[in-house]
Structure 1
Amino acid sequence: MDAYATLPSVELVAIAGMEDGPRDELGEKYGVGRRYRDWKELVADGGLDVVSVAVPTFLHAPIAVGALDAGIHVLSEKPIARTAAEAQDMVDAAHRAGRVLEVAFNHRRRGDIEALKAAIDDGQIGRPYHARAIWLRRSGIPALGSWFTNREMAGGGPLIDIGVHVLDYALHLFGEPVVTAVSAVTHSELGIRGRGGSAGGKQHVGSAYEVEDLASLLLRLEGGGSIVLETSWAAYRPAGDEFGITLYGTEGGADLRVVDYAPAGELTIFTGDGEETADVRVAADPGRGHVAVVETFLAHVADEANWAHWDGSLALDRARVIDAAYESAQRGAEVRLQPSTQGADEPVDATTTSATAPKGA
């Protein structure tokens, strides 16, 4: 809501949420007069151009499909849905309605990720062929007993929660290669023993710990490239959060490390020939995060001639990889992905929040 509120061409006009206190507090803070407990009433009352879906994962698909079918453009929080089947329903609804559907991948809009992408596009490391991408926590399960730890509500653990960000920025940096196969293992060792939980006001549903607390993936890419992806909510490692990526290219390499959500991480480009090195530390600005994502989304909404390009297909592809990873971990074998059947052009980014409409709508 902060991101939308910074834009003079946007008016926040309605909000729906089942928690009375937070809903009223947000309504007062942002001057939102229309407040609903049930999202269906918000959609039915009309007058909206855009809806942002920022709710537990099991509600993403029904709300997005309902809004799209009502002719409203949708920006959903990540992950797009619990499964690729639900994600496909959302993409189909966008096609059916002829409206924009995007999903919030705000980490690619960090300044350090953008600086690394610019270096790769400039040819500084040649062709990237392998990477190790991570998001690891020492003790970061989002509240034991919350909807996050319930498989039916969340769809999975750290892989689908924070790992989807890692998957997105890794594939983005590689130039969106097709993932042809996934081999994965998942572990649930700490959460089931009541360890690794973080403090927070996440919605408590009294759930047992039903998801993984660590996942490790090997992705095979079309053309021979590869990515190792590791993500954890809880593991015996240095305290705090750490995410980033190490890339190996034909003419150089790169390493980005972000500790405890630092606005800008430590980015190094490795180049040289043989024993002669020419490594460079790159200073990056913090980037504009959700504001940039919201601006991009609204720019796509304003570009009516190209609505079909922004149909959620990129997020659907991420969901297909995560589905394959969970299947691989369950089967104990590599899972090959079938080529995507989506015909729309590749979408770009996405975003987050409540309900909005441009002024004058």
Structure 2
Amino acid sequence: MNAAAPEGGQRRLRAGVIGLGWAGQQHVAAYAADPAVDLVALSAMEEHLLERFGTEHDVPGRYRDWTQMIAEAELDVVSIATPTFLHEPMAIHALGAGVHVLTEKPMAQTGEAAARMVAAAQQAGRVLDVSFNHRQRGDVTALKDVVDSGVLGKLYYAKTGWIRRQGIPGLGTWFTKAESSGGGALMDIGIHMLDMALHLLGEPAVTAASASTHAEFGPLGRGGSGFGVSQVEEGAPFEVEDLATAFLRLDGGGTLLLESSWAQWIPHDLCYVTLYGADGGATIEWGGDPAHPHQEITVWTEVAGMPAELQPVVGEDGHHAAAVASFLQHVASGDAAAHDGSLALRRARVLDACYASAKAGTEVSVAH
């Protein structure tokens, strides 16, 4: 924890983190490295994680009870990196206490829960952000610059997906229980691709969804992120999908195809976003053999009447640190009304429509 004030003498923000799993650890590292922040409190159920990260970053406040942390630590900002079903109550409690909130994705189990979070942020006049760390990738930033330059012309069609070879997280844990997670692959990794695609497309409203879900690996105890066949815990059935696909209608007549899968018979994991425009097309793709991963970005267009393939310059990936930095910039702006979680709420409404469509077997309008 840094002791010196940043240049300009302004008081540093007092930050806390709830949840010390992998994502929470990324938030801890980001706050600890920021000279404008004092990381003053951590909350987790695991004593060994509180001890480890509290000691590593010299954090004075270490709490098993997150409500006690909110009451006592005098926080300005807090990150929530807990199972999805806890995002809503934790965020609403913190916002009500006057604390700006950054939650991990997905925002909440349902659009209605997300809407209650937005309402709490608006009532409190505090920032509510959701950490979509993958939109901080260097290739996403580069492709957004290409789109904004107008090289592709009007975008009318896009495809995006995240497909894993063997990557169901925590078979038998909260990830695979409907009540605690809200959904499976679509909720966990599909949301990242939906966010990236809509961001690149310029945030068109999604008007309707036609979706389908499947669970072919998880119910058999297969497809876990470990090796071989995982044992499903007794009394903890696989209640969510391990594959989801959706056809999304966009305001203005465009369409977006979305697929996400935790486990599939493919050689290696694959992530991609492909855009089709009137004047050009573009794609970003990453994944492959972990020993030799690939990352590609290509733009196809026409220059002086001749077909041309462009290779944009790609900067470094921002990861969670960039998502935390963006959140802190929103807090510093003083314009909480512009950062009240409404964008993430729109994502949650799309997922609601996808799950409703898959259940009904028909196209469903997206609530707004």
TM-score by length of structure 1 reads 0.89
Cα offset, 1:179, TM superposition: 0.5
Q: Indicate the larger mover: 282-291 or 267-276.
A: 267-276
Alignment match, 2:204 = 177
What secondary structure, in the 3-state scheme, does the structure 2 residue paired with 1:279 have?
strand
Cα offset, 1:265, TM superposition: 2.2
Alignment match, 1:7 = 34
Give runs of aligned pairs for residues 30-45 of structure 1, distance below 5 A: 30-45=57-72
Deviations 1:193-238 (A, max 9, x none): 11100139xxx89621110000000000010000000000011112
Cα offset, 1:289, TM superposition: 2.2
* Counterpart-to-counterpart distance in 2, 1:303 and 1:114: 22
Alignment match, 2:247 = 218
Cα offset, 1:264, TM superposition: 7.7
Cα offset, 1:274, TM superposition: 12
Alignment match, 1:352 = none
2:282 to 233, 242, 254: 254
Structure 2: which 5+ runs fail to align? 1-27, 228-232
Cα offset, 1:107, TM superposition: 1.0
Give runs of aligned pairs for residues 2-81 of structure 1, distance below 5 A: 2-81=29-108
Alignment match, 2:317 = 287
Cα offset, 1:284, TM superposition: 1.1
2:164 to 137, 152, 160: 137
Instruction: Tell me if the contact between 2:287 and 2:293 (Cα under 8 Å) persists in the aligned partners.
Output: no
Seq. identity, %: 51
1:325 has 2:336 as partner: no
Instruction: Tell me if the contact between 1:111 and 1:288 (Cα under 8 Å) persists in the aligned partners.
Output: yes
What secondary structure, in the 3-state scheme, does the structure 2 residue paired with 1:107 have?
helix
Shift in alpha-carbon separation, 1:205–1:77, aligned structure 2, 3 A? farther
RMSD between aligned residues: 1.9
Alignment match, 1:232 = 261
Instruction: Tell me if the contact between 2:40 and 2:73 (Cα under 8 Å) persists in the aligned partners.
Output: no
Alignment match, 2:13 = none
What secondary structure, in the 3-state scheme, does the structure 1 residue paired with 2:311 have?
strand
What secondary structure, in the 3-state scheme, does the structure 2 residue paired with 1:148 have?
helix
* Counterpart-to-counterpart distance in 2, 1:275 and 1:219: 33
What secondary structure, in the 3-state scheme, does the structure 2 residue paired with 1:198 have?
coil
* Counterpart-to-counterpart distance in 1, 2:294 and 2:45: 35
Alignment match, 2:176 = 149
Alignment match, 1:103 = 130
1:125 has 2:152 as partner: yes
What secondary structure, in the 3-state scheme, does the structure 1 residue paired with 2:247 have?
strand
Shift in alpha-carbon separation, 1:210–1:31, aligned structure 2, 3 A? same
* Counterpart-to-counterpart distance in 1, 2:101 and 2:234: 27
Shift in alpha-carbon separation, 1:263–1:41, aligned structure 2, 3 A? farther
Q: Indicate the larger mover: 312-321 or 206-215.
A: 206-215
Alignment match, 1:356 = none
Structure 1: which 5+ runs fail to align? 341-361
* Counterpart-to-counterpart distance in 2, 1:27 and 1:263: 34
Alignment match, 1:269 = 299
Deviations 1:238-290 (A, max 9, x none): 22x21111111000100111115899820000112899420123341223222
Shift in alpha-carbon separation, 1:192–1:206, aligned structure 2, 3 A? same
Higher relative contact order (CA 8 A, sep 6+): 1
How many residues are matched?
334
Alignment match, 1:311 = 340
Q: Indicate the larger mover: 21-30 or 223-232.
A: 21-30
Cα offset, 1:63, TM superposition: 0.4
Instruction: Tell me if the contact between 1:146 and 1:206 (Cα under 8 Å) persists in the aligned partners.
Output: no
- Letter in structure 2 aligned against 1:333: T
* Counterpart-to-counterpart distance in 2, 1:273 and 1:208: 56
- Letter in structure 1 aligned against 2:201: F
2:363 to 324, 334, 338: 334
* Counterpart-to-counterpart distance in 1, 2:143 and 2:251: 22
Cα offset, 1:24, TM superposition: 1.5
